[in-house]
A and B are shown apart, each in its own frame.
Chain A
């Protein structure tokens, strides 16, 4: 009986901590929604109001007339898909080699790859632009995702996931006579599914919200993603925040769906512990 009560207070405390945290996490999003429902005059009012004086839904309509929303969403989706798929393929291959194979120059090469993370990304924007231009890809969908398909972050994340796997699995497969790629593809890759899902979510989110790069390579509105499109609502002196917030709310829905779809891949441990190997 006493034990049971301890469990209850325990989960009560958990709920308390989690919901407090959740409130803090959601607050800006909530603010975004409330801002979208205010009039432009109210947004810049001093002192600021919390709830809208009168609930104004017109910003949501305006988004669709202010921007070619559908085209831009399509561009965003393509850019996001390209970048995410590229990272999952290229990073998992390289990460597997770095984590589970021995070869000359491995650590040096890995260090070199990591160095990509250590310079501010805007340092490389100009030469990257030149390369895209030489490929004749300015104002195209591939321009949006090409450089982003190759990621040191993803390689490092997946390498750590591979490293955490028990060695015995691989050895068992080897004894069965499977080649390197077979072992990688059918034994090891499925085991790091949680990490792959996490990488997919993070990459998708980054690609979806990417701003500076799309604005530089794709100046033609019909090739712009929605992230860049929304900033064209920004004026020099004043920004139409309600419309911008409404637009970003709508734009963020697909990402929430992606997350809900992927989240089961990275929550709660599997009952199976790799003992099938």
Chain B
């Protein structure tokens, strides 16, 4: 058991350097498959088989009530030709960029909430959980009230500083940012829970040893918390990216149908939803979903490659 994270990281690096590992024993392999089998079977039935089916349907024109005709790559051609797809992709990438802001926020709050001896910390923890149990409709209502162009609190406050009244969610130039802010708000609590769990798994003796060495809170954060949290952080950044690339619900709730900025804020999944469920173009919608999946898979792969540079495993 290494006491210092630096050595732990070095050891992990060593292990990786000595790859390839010896061929595992067949008995161990069988056990591993046994561990995976229950989940694998569930996935096969409820996810992989449906995915194969819809993948097939992405090459067909799909009737709204079943039935389909093979159309080859028409749907994919339609997706690539459609300018709204590219616009939605651009928006989606912006959402993803904004969405990642939740991570540093959540880490800082998680570290603060984990301070020992801080009074009222349990109350804070409960309060930070509250966004989780708030109905999405309520979230939409309150933010729209804050952003309201004519009677909103935000304009009211900015008015004190002489800033002009602004229609935040219906002006194309601010709508994406306004939604992005709510996105960060609503996901911070989520990552907070994950990070709090990650921090808890860090053995306390590390901190005690560092304290004996005279390291201040800031130093302890950067030399112990951050490196030892990196597996969790890696997880969170992959999930955050995947989920913000699939942003939809929030935009739907906040924008409404008649917002002049609808086109400027549309996300890829929003477009998918519109095609699949409103315009009865399931085939094209499936094609769009698989192209998005390809993009997400590529970015995720990149993250897995990059993790070697910064993630420390035990």
The chain A residues found within 8 Å of chain B, CB to CB, are 10-11, 14-15, 17-19, 21-22, 24-29, 31-32, 35, 46-48, 86, 89-91, 93-94, 96-98, 101-104, 106, 109, 111-120, 122-124, 126-128, 131, 146-147, 149-150, 152-153, 155-157, 160-161, 163-168, 179-181, 184, 191-192, 194-195, 197-198, 201-202, 205, 209, 230, 241, 244-245, 248, 252, 255-256, 259-260, 263, 265-275, 277
B129 at the interface (CB under 8 A from A): yes
Q: A120-B289, A271-B204 are in contact. Are A163 and B1 (CB under 8 A)?
A: no
Q: Are A114 and B35 in contact (CB under 8 A)?
A: no
Q: Are A35 and B46 in contact (CB under 8 A)?
A: no
Residues of B within 8 A of A22 (CB): 124, 127-128
Residues of A within 8 A of B188 (CB): 25
Residues of A within 8 A of B125 (CB): 263, 267
A35-B141, A244-B137 are known; give 20 further A-B pairs, CB within 8 A: A27-B142, A32-B135, A46-B150, A48-B151, A91-B39, A93-B38, A97-B36, A101-B24, A111-B297, A113-B43, A114-B300, A126-B282, A127-B49, A153-B239, A163-B231, A165-B314, A209-B136, A256-B126, A259-B132, A269-B200
Q: Which residues of chain B from 220 to 241 have a CB within 8 Å of any chain A CB?
A: 228, 231-232, 234-235, 238-239
Give the number of residue pairs across the A-B interface with Cβ within 8 Å.
Answer: 309
- In the bound assembly, the distance between CA atoms of A93 and B12 in angstroms comes to 23
Residues of A within 8 A of B31 (CB): 97, 101, 179-181
Residues of A within 8 A of B238 (CB): 156
B189 at the interface (CB under 8 A from A): yes
B199 at the interface (CB under 8 A from A): yes
Q: Are B134 and A273 in contact (CB under 8 A)?
A: no
Q: Which one of B1, B134, B285 contacts A252 once the chains associate, using CB atoms below 8 Å?
A: B134
B94 at the interface (CB under 8 A from A): no
Residues of A within 8 A of B114 (CB): 267-269
- In the bound assembly, the distance between CA atoms of A116 and B142 in angstroms comes to 33
Q: A118-B300, A198-B196 are in contact. Are A161 and B35 (CB under 8 A)?
A: no
Q: Are B203 and A270 in contact (CB under 8 A)?
A: yes
Residues of A within 8 A of B120 (CB): 15
Q: A103-B28, A155-B39, A156-B239 are in contact. Are A18 and B124 (CB under 8 A)?
A: yes
One of B75-83, B157-165, B168-176, B268-276 contacting the partner: B268-276
Query: What does DSSP make chain B's interface, helix, strand, loop or mixed?
Result: helix
Complex A-B: 18 CB contacts under 8 Å: A14-B115, A22-B128, A29-B134, A94-B40, A101-B35, A102-B24, A106-B32, A109-B40, A116-B48, A118-B296, A126-B282, A128-B50, A160-B232, A164-B313, A166-B1, A263-B126, A263-B129, A274-B203
Q: Are A269 and B202 in contact (CB under 8 A)?
A: yes
B212 at the interface (CB under 8 A from A): no
Smallest CB gap from A50: residue in B: B153
- How does the 8 Å CB contact mask read for B93-135 relative to A, with 1 for contact and 0 for none? 0000000000000000100111110111110111111111111
Q: Are A123 and B199 in contact (CB under 8 A)?
A: no
Chain B min CB distance to A272 (Å)? 7
B53 at the interface (CB under 8 A from A): yes
Q: Are A97 and B32 in contact (CB under 8 A)?
A: yes
- In the bound assembly, the distance between CA atoms of A127 and B118 in angstroms comes to 51
Q: A122-B273, A150-B46, A160-B232 are in contact. Are A94 and B143 (CB under 8 A)?
A: no
Q: Are B197 and A266 in contact (CB under 8 A)?
A: yes
B139 at the interface (CB under 8 A from A): yes
Q: Are B133 and A29 in contact (CB under 8 A)?
A: yes
Residues of B within 8 A of A265 (CB): 197, 200
- In the bound assembly, the distance between CA atoms of A108 and B109 in angstroms comes to 35
Q: Are B39 and A17 in contact (CB under 8 A)?
A: no
Which 8 pairs, one residue from A and one from B, show the smallest C-beta to C-beta distance?
A273-B203, A150-B42, A127-B50, A47-B151, A198-B197, A97-B35, A252-B133, A194-B197
Q: Are A17 and B196 in contact (CB under 8 A)?
A: no
Q: Which one of B53, B113, B138, B231 contacts A32 once the chains associate, using CB atoms below 8 Å?
A: B138
Interface hub of A26, A112, A181 (most chain B Cβ within 10 A): A26
Residues of B within 8 A of A166 (CB): 1-2, 8, 314
- In the bound assembly, the distance between CA atoms of A101 and B30 in angstroms comes to 10
Q: Are B235 and A123 in contact (CB under 8 A)?
A: no
Residues of A within 8 A of B1 (CB): 166, 168, 273-275, 277
Q: Which one of A11, A24, A255, A275 contacts B133 once the chains associate, using CB atoms below 8 Å?
A: A255
Residues of A within 8 A of B112 (CB): 14, 17-18
- How does the 8 Å CB contact mask read for B282-312 relative to A, with 1 for contact and 0 for none? 1001100110110011001100000000000
Q: Are A123 and B54 in contact (CB under 8 A)?
A: yes
Chain B min CB distance to A184 (Å)? 7
